[in-house]
Structure 1
Amino acid sequence: MNSSKPRTNDKRLVAGLSGGFLLIFVILALFDLEQMTQWINTGFAWVIDVFGPMWQLWMLANLVIALLLGFTRYGDIRLGGHITPDAATFKWLAVIMCTLLAGGGVFWSAAEPMYHYLSTPPTFAEAEGVSKISAGLAQSFLHWGFMAWAALGTLSALIVVYAHYHKGLSMRPRVLLYPIFGEKIETHWIGTVADVVSIVAVAAGTIGPIGFLATQLGFSFEALLGWQNNYSLQLMILGGLVLIYTISASTGIDKGIQWLSSANVVLALVLIAMILLFGPGGFIVDSFMNGMGLYLKDFMPLALVRPEGDWMAWWTLFFWGWFIGYGPMMALFIARISRGRTLRELVVAVAIMAPLVTNFWFAVLGGAGIFYEETTAGVISAPLEAGGLPAALLGITQQLPFAEFMVPAFLVLTIVFVATTGDSMAYAIAMAISGDHTPRTRDRIFWALTMGLVAAVLLRMGEGGINALQSFIVITAAPVSLLLLPVLWTGPRIAHIMAYEQGIVPHKERHSDEEDTLDPVGRLKEEEEATK
C-alpha cells in the first residue's frame, strides 16, 4: 500500500495555482467587467457547443451504470472495508442532502417551476394533454433529479474510496485517474492539473450561491423592513454567513457540519409539514405526482433531446455544467463520510432518495407558488419578473398561512442551507490540497474565508460580477468533465476488483493490461504460480 503523503511543493503548487486563478478572475472583473463578461460569454457558448452533447450522454450513462452496480451483487461491496459507518444514517443522509441542495436548490426551488410554468419548455411546448403545471415541475425535476445527483457521488466516489482507503493514496481529485495511471498519478503533472481545475470549479460553484444569498436577503430585508438593499447591507449579510460556515468547517464533519445539516433537515421537514397541513397541500401532492409521472414517462426525451435555440444552453446544460464541476470535490466529500456503507446504500441514498426528496421540495415551494399564481394572476409572476430569483421565495412565503412565522423561518433555512454548502466545500478543498482524510483546521478556515472574500468583491461590482461567475462555472466544467469521463468504465472495473477482494465474486476478471497497475501484488502472485 502506498502511504506517501503529497509533497509540500506539490501542495503549494496546487494551492497557488487554484488561489491564483481565482485572484486573476477577480482582478480582471475589477479592471474591466464588461470585457471580461464578453470573454466569458464567448467561452460559455463554445463550451456548450463542444461539450454539451457529451455532458448529456455522460449524465445518463453515469446514472444507468451506477444503478446497475448498486442493484446487482456489486451492491454488497463495503466501502472502505468491513467496518462500522462513521455516522448514524440520519446524520449521513442529512449531510448529503444539505451539501448539494443548498448549492442552488434554495434559490431555484421557488423560481424554476414558476419560470417553466409561465414559459413552457421546448420538450412540452407542443405536447398534447400536458398541463403547464406538470410541464413546469417535470422540467425542474430533470434538472435536480436522478442524473444530477448521481453525477455527484456514485461511480466517482467509489473510485475515491478504493484509491484512498484500500490503496492508501492521498484524498485528492487526481485519484479519479488512479485506475488509468496507477500510483504514478500521485506525482504526475496531470494530477496537479486535475486538482486545480476541480478546486476552481467547485469554488466558483460555491461562491455563486454565497453571493446570491446576500442579494436575496438584502432584497427581503428591503421589502420587509424597509432597509436599503445596498452593498453595505449585503456585506453585513455575507459576513454573518461566512462566520457561520467558517465555524462549522473548523469544527469538522463529526461536529459542526453534521450538527448544522441535521438541524437544517429538521427545520425543513417542519416547514414542509406546515405548508402541506395549512397551505395548498392537496394541490402540491397532486402536482408532485403528475409532474413525477410526466418526468418518468418522458425521461429519455428529456435527457437526450436537443431543442434548437438558446434554451438548452441556459437551462439544462448550465445545470449539467454546474453539477459536473462539483463532481470531483463532492466525490471526495461523499467518500469521506461514507466509509463503512455498502455501495448499494450509497447508490440508493445519492441517486434515488436524495433526488426524490429534492423533487418533492421543489413541488412544495414551486407548487405553492404556482397555486397562488393560478388563484391570483401576477401575485408571484410579477415579483419574479421585477426582482428575479431573490423575489420568488419571498413572494411565495408571504402568501403562505402564518406568513409572519414562515417568512423569517424560510430566510433562516436559506442561510443554513447555503452555510452547509460553504462548510462542506471548504472542507473538501482543504482535503484536495492536503490529501489528508482530516485536513488541518487552519486550511479549512482559509478556504472558507477565501470564498467569502471573492463573493464580497463580486458583490461590489453588482449583479454583473455574480452573473459572470455563473457563466464561468460552465467553462470550468469543461476540463472537469474530461476528468470524470473515464469513470464510466473505470468505475465498474474498480467495483469488480473490490468485489473480488471482499469475496463477493469468485474470480478476478481481466479487461486489459491496465488492470495490472491496480493490483501489482496479485500480478506477482499469479506470475509465481505460473512459474511453479
Structure 2
Amino acid sequence: MSAQTDSQSQNGRQGAFSDSDPVVLILTIGFILLFVGASLFNSEGVSTVIGAGFTWTARYLGSFFQLLLLATFFIALGTAASKGGNARIGGLEKPEISRFRWLSMIMCTLLAGGGVFFAAGEPVYHFLVTPPAFDTEAGTAEAAAPALAQSFTHWGFLAWAVLGSLTALVLSRAHYDQGKPLQPRTLLYPVFGERVVSGKLGGVIDAMCVIAVVAGTVGPIGFLATQMSFGLHELFGTPDGYGTQLTVLVVLAAVYMTSAMTGLHKGIQMLSRFNVILALVIAAIILLFGPTLFLINTYTQASGEYLSSFMAMATMTSETAPDWWMKWWTVFFFAWFIGYTPLMAVFVSRISRGRTVREMIIAVAVLAPVATTLWFTLLGGSGIYHQLAGTFDLTDALNNFRFDVATLTVAQALPGGTWMAAAILLLTTIFVATTGDSMSYSIAMVGAGHDEPSPWIRVFWGGAMALMAAILLYMGSGQIGVLQQFIVLTAIPVSFIILPSLWTGPKAAIAMAKEQGLA
C-alpha cells in the first residue's frame, strides 16, 4: 500500500509539471536563477543596472502609468453603471463562494501585498514630509488629513480598480463563455485572436506577467521575515538576525504551501476569513480604546481632502514634484499594482463566478478601497496622533524607510501594548501567507491554463518564492529592495498587455449581458 501511494504521489508530481506551459516554466525559473545568480556574482552591478532602469521608467513612463490607472477606474465605474453591469460572470445563477468569504479573499490578497507594511508608517511619513500636492506645515495638526489623503491616493480607488475590474471582465468573458484559457495571454485575445492564445507568444506574455508577480510577492515575503525578526527581538528578546529570518520564512512557507495543497475552497478561504476577523477585532479595539475622536475627525477630513484633491494627487508629475518623491512613492506604487494586475485578474475572475459584473466592480474598485482607507486611518492615524503628542519620534526611522520600526513602534503605542504588537505581527504574517497562497495558486493556473492546477505545482511555486527570498536575505535586505525596484521595470510590458482592457472590458460586459438576455 505504501509503495502504491508513493507511486501515485510521484505520478502526481510528474503530471503537475507536464501540465505546465514549458515556455512559462523555463522563462520564469530562468529569471529566478538569473537574478539570484547575478546578485551572488555582482550585487552592486545588479543594483546599479536596475536602479538606472527604475529611474528612467519613473521619469518617462510615470505619467502613462497614472493615466492608465485613472482611465481604468472611471471606465470600470461606467461599466458597472451600464446594462452590462447586470450580467453574471460564468453564467451561474448563484455565486460559488459566499459574499463574506469572497470579499475576504479579495481584501487579503492585495492588502497583504504591501498595505500591511505601509499602513502605520506611510501616513506618518507624509505627516513629517509634506506631499507635493499640499502646502501644510509638516508635523502640525493641519498636516494630518493631507498625510492620510496622500496614502489613500496610493492605496485607494485607482490601485484597486486596475487590479481586478476591467481585466477580470475580459478574462471572465473569454474563459467562461468562449472557452479560452484563464491566462494573461487571453487579455489580448479580443485584439489579436487565436494566434496569441495558442502560439509561443502567449507563453512569453504569460511568463512576463508571472515574473512581475514573483518580483512583487518575494518582496513582501522577505520584508515580513525582517519585520518579524525585528519585532520578535523587541518584544521577546529573540536574536534579530538571519537565523530568525530564515525560521520565519520556513514557518510562513509551510503555512501557505499547506494551504495551497488544500485548494481554493479550503485553505485560501480559511486563511482569508481568519485574517479579516482578526483585523476587525484589532480595528474595534483601536477605535474603542484609542484616540477615538481624533481618528474619526481625521478620517472625515482626510476623506474630504482625498476627494477634493483626487485629480491633483493622481496626476502629479516630476514637473511639479521632486523626482525622488515621484519615483519612490506614486510611480513606484502604481507600477507595482500594474505588475500585479494580470495575475490578480486571473484570481478575481476565478473566485467571482456567479457574481454580477456590477458586484465585482463595486467590491474591487469601491468597497475594498474604502476598507483600506479605514485600516490606514486606524494604524497610520494612531501613529500621527502619538507622533504629534510626542509619545515617540519616527523621523529618523522613516527617513531611512524603516517601516518595520514604524509598524512595531506604532503597534506598541496602541491599546494593549505588547499584546497588540504581537497581534499585528500575527495579522501581518497571515496576510502575507494569504498573498503567497493565492499568487502560488494563480501562477499554477497560468501555467496549466485551467482552473484546477495540480497541488504539487502550487507548492512548487510557493516554495520557489520563499527560497528566493531566503537567498536574497542572506545577501542582505538591500537585495530584496533591488527586487522591489525591478517591479517598476516589469510594469512596462504588463501595462501594454492590460491597456486594451480599457475598451475590451466594457465590450465583454455588454456581450455577456446580451447573451444572458439582459441588454
Match of 2:404?
A: 390
Tell me the secondary structure at the aligned position of residue 124 of structure 1. coil
Within 5 A, what are the aligned runs for 1:38-437?
Answer: 38-125=48-135, 131-306=142-317, 307-310=320-323, 311-376=325-390, 378-385=392-399, 388-437=402-451
Moved more, 446-455 or 283-292: 283-292
Tell me the secondary structure at the aligned position of residue 439 of structure 1. coil
Distance of 1:125 and 1:298 partners within structure 2: 13
Distance of 1:245 and 1:7 partners within structure 2: 20
Any conservation in 2 of the 1:124–1:130 contact (CA below 8 Å)? Answer: no
Moved more, 40-49 or 6-15: 6-15
Deviation for aligned residue 1:49: 2.5
Deviation for aligned residue 1:130: 9.2
Q: Cα gap change, 1:274/1:183 in structure 2, threshold over 3 Å: closer, same or farther?
A: same
Match of 2:490?
A: 476
Deviation for aligned residue 1:330: 0.2
Distance of 1:385 and 1:64 partners within structure 2: 35
Q: Cα gap change, 1:130/1:305 in structure 2, threshold over 3 Å: closer, same or farther?
A: farther
Distance of 2:515 and 2:141 partners within structure 1: 50
Match of 2:13?
A: none
Distance of 2:412 and 2:59 partners within structure 1: 41
Any conservation in 1 of the 2:235–2:418 contact (CA below 8 Å)? Answer: no
Deviation for aligned residue 1:380: 3.9
The letter of the residue matching 2:131 is P
Deviation for aligned residue 1:127: 9.4
Deviation for aligned residue 1:10: 7.6
TM-score by length of 2: 0.93
Query: Aligned Cα RMSD in Å?
Result: 1.8
1:447 to 461, 467, 480: 461
Distance of 2:113 and 2:178 partners within structure 1: 31
Moved more, 400-409 or 332-341: 400-409
The letter of the residue matching 1:281 is T
Tell me the secondary structure at the aligned position of residue 85 of structure 1. coil
Distance of 1:8 and 1:186 partners within structure 2: 19
Distance of 1:35 and 1:79 partners within structure 2: 47
Moved more, 250-259 or 305-314: 305-314
Deviation for aligned residue 1:23: 1.1
Distance of 1:232 and 1:461 partners within structure 2: 13
Tell me the secondary structure at the aligned position of residue 80 of structure 1. helix
Match of 2:43?
A: 33
Deviation for aligned residue 1:317: 0.4
Deviation for aligned residue 1:171: 1.1
Deviation for aligned residue 1:381: 3.6
Extract unaligned runs of 5+ from structure 1.
Answer: 1-5, 506-532
Deviation for aligned residue 1:53: 1.3
Distance of 2:136 and 2:151 partners within structure 1: 18
Any conservation in 2 of the 1:369–1:380 contact (CA below 8 Å)? Answer: no
Any conservation in 2 of the 1:380–1:396 contact (CA below 8 Å)? Answer: no
Q: Cα gap change, 1:389/1:417 in structure 2, threshold over 3 Å: closer, same or farther?
A: same
Deviation for aligned residue 1:51: 1.9
Distance of 2:123 and 2:508 partners within structure 1: 39
Moved more, 74-83 or 145-154: 74-83
Any conservation in 2 of the 1:379–1:395 contact (CA below 8 Å)? Answer: no
1:47-86 Cα distance to aligned partner (Å, 9 max, x none): 2223211111110000000000101211101111133211
The letter of the residue matching 2:491 is A
Any conservation in 2 of the 1:169–1:183 contact (CA below 8 Å)? Answer: no
The letter of the residue matching 1:415 is T
The letter of the residue matching 1:500 is K
Any conservation in 2 of the 1:157–1:332 contact (CA below 8 Å)? Answer: yes
The letter of the residue matching 1:155 is L
Match of 1:514?
A: none
Any conservation in 1 of the 2:213–2:340 contact (CA below 8 Å)? Answer: yes
Deviation for aligned residue 1:175: 0.5
Any conservation in 1 of the 2:141–2:388 contact (CA below 8 Å)? Answer: no
Distance of 2:233 and 2:400 partners within structure 1: 14
Distance of 1:138 and 1:470 partners within structure 2: 24
Distance of 1:404 and 1:196 partners within structure 2: 43
The letter of the residue matching 2:178 is K
1:11 and 2:24 equivalent? no
Distance of 2:30 and 2:509 partners within structure 1: 37
The letter of the residue matching 2:89 is L
Deviation for aligned residue 1:197: 0.6
Distance of 1:126 and 1:416 partners within structure 2: 37
Deviation for aligned residue 1:131: 2.1
Distance of 1:377 and 1:441 partners within structure 2: 48
Tell me the secondary structure at the aligned position of residue 180 of structure 2. coil
TM-score by length of 1: 0.91
Distance of 1:489 and 1:71 partners within structure 2: 15
1:231-261 Cα distance to aligned partner (Å, 9 max, x none): 1111011111111111111111100000100
Tell me the secondary structure at the aligned position of residue 112 of structure 2. helix
Q: Cα gap change, 1:447/1:499 in structure 2, threshold over 3 Å: closer, same or farther?
A: same
Between Structure 1 and Structure 2, how many residues are aligned?
500
Deviation for aligned residue 1:304: 1.2
Tell me the secondary structure at the aligned position of residue 212 of structure 1. helix
The letter of the residue matching 1:412 is L
1:463-503 Cα distance to aligned partner (Å, 9 max, x none): 22111011011111111001011111111222222222112
State percent identity of aligned pairs.
Answer: 48
Distance of 2:274 and 2:19 partners within structure 1: 40
Distance of 1:296 and 1:324 partners within structure 2: 23
1:421-461 Cα distance to aligned partner (Å, 9 max, x none): 00000000000111111110001000000000000011011
Match of 1:521?
A: none
Distance of 1:415 and 1:433 partners within structure 2: 27
Any conservation in 1 of the 2:136–2:143 contact (CA below 8 Å)? Answer: no
Moved more, 182-191 or 307-316: 182-191
Distance of 1:217 and 1:156 partners within structure 2: 35
Distance of 2:266 and 2:388 partners within structure 1: 44
Distance of 2:495 and 2:510 partners within structure 1: 24
The letter of the residue matching 2:200 is W
Distance of 1:56 and 1:130 partners within structure 2: 30
Distance of 1:108 and 1:456 partners within structure 2: 22
